Amino acid sequence: MDVFLIIIGALCLLIGLAGCILPALPGPPVSYFGLLLLHFTEKVQFSASELWIWFAVVAVIQVADYVVPMLGSKYSGGSRWGTRGALVGSVIGLFFIPWGLILGPFIGALVGELLGDRSFGEAFKSGIGALLGFIFGTVLKVAACVYFIVVFVTALF
């Protein structure tokens, strides 16, 4: 049974890493599930505090994935219109995979700022901030999944 759990756990880690890029898969939660499967084997036992900390990291990253593009828009000079537009663009972008995920926050912030009577230059700057926020969120997800893979491999060997 341990070999089965280890193989499924390793697959979850790989699927989770792919899920950082592919929108249909929630990357960090799937990777975390892979670590949980390893924990349930007789070969490796993680402490409860490790499992809870990793769970908290996954929860924060999942929330940040939607909030960071809004913050990117805000800190690049965007108004409420731009930050809300980035959030709406992120959600609508989920329906237009894969380009919608990348361009959704940008277009949402851009359109939001234009609806808020900002100049095109200001709206574009806000859109770029949202895009950079999206990229930062993706890097966070990838970093967490790579960390989980390293933990998995080092725990086995």
Mean of pLDDT over the chain: 89
pLDDT of 21 reads: 79
SS (H, E, C) 9-70: HHHHHHHHHHHCCCCCCCHHHHHHHHHHHHHCCCCCCCCHHHHHHHHHHHHHHHHHHHHHHH
Share of residues in the chain with pLDDT > 90 (%): 46
In this predicted structure, the answer to whether residue 56 has a pLDDT above a threshold of 70 is yes
pLDDT of 23 reads: 66
Give the Cα separation of 100 and 105 in Å (integer). 8
Q: Are 90 and 105 in contact (CB under 8 A)?
A: yes
Q: Are 92 and 109 in contact (CB under 8 A)?
A: no
For residue 118, the Cα-to-chain-centroid distance in whole angstroms is 29
The per-residue pLDDT for range 91-126, each reduced to its tens digit, is: 888 788 778 878 888 899 899 999 988 899 888 988
Tell me which DSSP letter residue 99 carries.
Answer: H
The per-residue pLDDT for range 4-43, each reduced to its tens digit, is: 999 999 999 999 999 887 766 789 999 999 999 999 998 8
